[in-house]
């Protein structure tokens, strides 16, 4: 479904600040895969997402979805089939627009193209019904501006905006990291429900190693721009946190040292 071949990206090439963010990354996702992505700060996780989304192009390598080469496709065109939820609950929404207006904008763009925006009774009922599934009371606050919502409420709206029309690929960029533990757990439950409901191919960056092993069906680990671990099937099912840390150390020749990395 998603295929990355020999993806490399270097910033500030030829200067004292040269940084090799990605180094010959090869990755293939099957339809319906839910892959968690872990690694220390600077490992290349967000850079990988940015290349997939088209925020910038790789120096070498190809990005394909469903067999179609999208390596040089502009970001705004990829947005019609790639959904992304960021750590910051304010990104991906228009804070001065209401919940209903944000949902209508996302829905119209996915269904009718970027220049169409409309609100009608049928769509409004669909938005309310979709929000009501997640038991956060948002279906009764359709006229509330998104900027006035809590972080967890905004993330639910953003998730729904990305999946009202199911994308080919959903990217979750530490989307629960800015939330308190109880809200984070709630958002993850909603995330799993949405992914399961639509059978979405999904990648999720997380610093919670326990969640990385328990969520989805596959875990990959990055280090210094390279994909060093790809764990799935029975190996993943029986792997403990200590096993993961030891495997990381053996592959990278260093201990996993990151203040943001959570082990529980």
Per-residue pLDDT tens for 61-93? Answer: 999 999 999 999 999 899 889 999 999 878 889
Portion of the chain with pLDDT greater than 70, in percent = 92
Element (H, E) at 170: strand 169-173
For the CA atoms of 158, 38, 234, 25, what is the dihedral angle to 10 degrees? Answer: 100
- Region 176-204: what's the mean pLDDT? 94
CA pseudo-torsion sign 131, 132, 134, 135 = positive
Buried b (16+ CB within 10 A) or exposed e, 31-55: eebbbbbbbbeebbbbbbbbbbbbe
Tokens 């009718």 sit on residue: 112
If we measure between CA atoms, which residue out of 78, 56, 59 comes closest to residue 2?
A: 78
Please give the pLDDT value at position 257. 54
Portion of the chain with pLDDT greater than 90, in percent = 71
- Region 50-68: what's the mean pLDDT? 96
Distance (Å, whole) CA 206 – CA 33: 16
Who's near 236: CB < 8 A, 6+ residues apart? 213, 217, 218, 219
Please give the pLDDT value at position 264. 45
User: What is the arrangement of strands in the sheet containing 201-205, beginning at the earlier edge strand?
Assistant: 82-85, 169-173, 201-205, 34-38, 218-223, 226-232
With both helix axes pointing from N to C terminus, report the angle between 99-112 and 151-163 in degrees, rounded to the nearest 10: 20
Please give the pLDDT value at position 259. 46
Cβ atoms of 156 and 190 within 8 Å: the answer is yes
- Region 144-173: what's the mean pLDDT? 94
pLDDT at 111 over 70: no
What is the overall mean pLDDT for the chain? 90
Distance (Å, whole) CA 69 – CA 234: 32
SS3 content of the chain, % helix, strand, coil (to 5): 40, 25, 40
């Amino acid at each position: 479904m998603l295929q990355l071949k020999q993806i490399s990206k270097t910033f500030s090439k030829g200067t004292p600040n040269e940084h090799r963010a990605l180094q010959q990354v090869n990755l293939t996702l099957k339809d319906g895969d839910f892959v968690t992505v872990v690694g220390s700060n600077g490992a290349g996780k967000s850079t990988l997402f940015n290349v997939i989304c088209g925020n910038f192009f790789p120096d070498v390598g190809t990005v394909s979805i469903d067999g179609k080469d999208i390596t040089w496709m502009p970001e705004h065109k990829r947005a019609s089939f790639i959904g992304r939820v960021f750590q910051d609950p304010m990104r991906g929404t228009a804070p001065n627009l209401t919940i209903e207006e944000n949902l209508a904008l996302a829905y119209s763009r996915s269904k009718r193209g970027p220049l169409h925006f409309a609100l009608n009774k049928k769509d409004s009922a669909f938005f309310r019904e979709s929000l009501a599934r997640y038991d956060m009371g948002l279906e009764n606050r359709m006229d509330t501006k998104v900027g006035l919502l809590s972080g967890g409420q905004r993330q639910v709206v953003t998730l729904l905006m990305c999946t009202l029309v199911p994308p080919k690929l959903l990217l979750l960029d530490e989307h629960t990291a800015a939330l308190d533990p109880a809200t984070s757990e709630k958002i993850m439950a909603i995330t799993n429900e949405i992914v399961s409901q639509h059978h979405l191919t999904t990648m999720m960056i997380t610093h919670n190693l326990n969640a990385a092993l328990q969520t989805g069906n596959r875990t990959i680990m990055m280090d210094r721009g390279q994909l060093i671990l790809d764990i799935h099937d029975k190996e993943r099912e029986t792997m403990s946190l200590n096993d993961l840390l030891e495997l990381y150390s053996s592959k990278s020749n260093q201990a996993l040292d990151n203040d943001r990395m959570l082990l529980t």
